[in-house]
Amino acid sequence: MTTPDAAPEAAPGSTAAALPESGPVQTRRQTGRRARHVWLVPTGLLLLAVIPALGGSARLAELASDPVLTEENARFVSQPLPVVLHIVCVTVYSMLGAFQFVPSLRRRRWHRWAGRVLAPAGVGVALTGLWMTAFYDLPVKDTAVVNGMRYLVGTTMLLAIVLGVRAALRRDFATHSAWMTRAYALAMGAGTQGLLLGPLVLVTGSLDPVTNSIGLTAGWLINIAVAEWVIHRRRLRERG
């Protein structure tokens, strides 16, 4: 027996039972799915940043000890300051920079304050990278192609950061976002290069100059191609 105020329960398989949820429950579920989707990109970037961060940590630990000189580490042991600064700057830049791709944070003051740390860190990454390419005695596997790419990448990254900061000061945030995305993609080249070349090193123990050149160059090209695709998608959304 039911009271006048009680609604009868829908029988399994009935039309009422098959109706999709609506109202607050459906809204909460949609919001939860969007939130999880938003964090996929920064999570992936943080995982990619772990690759050079681990390599940098190992290098710092080596320099802090009394390492045996080898062809691979002699330049770092003789002049440790540039590589130490490079590792610190690239770790801060790659880790903190991943959060700049979270839309909710871009709309808050946090984005601006983080940018004031990231811009100098990015400049540090580019300048120390250029210095090491110019003045370190590089190993044989680093061919002229690799060193030429390092000069190009470092200079382009430095220019992108300058243009990005300039656009932000003009409050041209679309242009600012585009240039900063390009700079971040170039800085993250080491992560992509680690994914490409790491398995080969584990299997063979070393890389010949040709394979090393192809892998390093491919890492930068893949990253900048992805960056341009992201920038293009943003522009389409803004127009649409």
User: What's the CA gap between 201 and 171, in Å, rounded?
Assistant: 46
Counting other chains too, the contacts that 19-27 makes at CB distance below 8 Å and 24 or more residues apart are: none
Beta carbons of 193 and 215 less than 8 angstroms apart:
yes
CB atoms within 10 A of CB 73: 17
| 126 vs 149: CA distance, rounded Å | 13
> What would the two tokens of residue 97 be?
């920079």
Are 195 and 165 a contacting pair, CB within 8 Å? no
pLDDT in tens, 166-219: 999 999 999 999 999 999 999 999 999 999 999 998 888 888 999 999 999 999
Q: What is the pLDDT of residues 69-111, one digit of tens each?
A: 888 889 999 999 999 999 999 999 999 999 998 887 776 788 8
Residue 5 has pLDDT above 50, yes or no: no
Work out the percent of the chain whose per-residue pLDDT is above 70.
84
166, 168, 173, 175: CA torsion to nearest 10: 10
User: Six-digit token pair at 66?
Assistant: 């009394």
- Break the chain into its structural domains and give their ranges: 32-239
For residue 165, give both structure tokens.
């900061």
CA 239, distance to chain mean position in Å, is: 26
Whole-angstrom distance, CA of residue 183 vs CA of residue 90 = 12
pLDDT score at 15: 44
CA angle 150, 155, 158 (to 5 degrees): 125
Using DSSP, state whether 65 is helix, strand or coil: coil
Over the chain, what is the mean pLDDT? 86
Distance of CA 187 to the CA centre of its chain: 7
Q: Which of 5-9, 108-112, 148-152, 230-234 has the lowest mean pLDDT?
A: 5-9
pLDDT of 90 reads: 96
Look up the pTM and report it. Answer: 0.82
Cβ pair 56, 83 in contact under 8 A:
no
Contact 52, 191 (CB under 8 A): yes
- Cβ-proximal residues to 184 (8 Å cutoff; 6+ apart), any chain: 93, 94, 97, 100, 122, 227
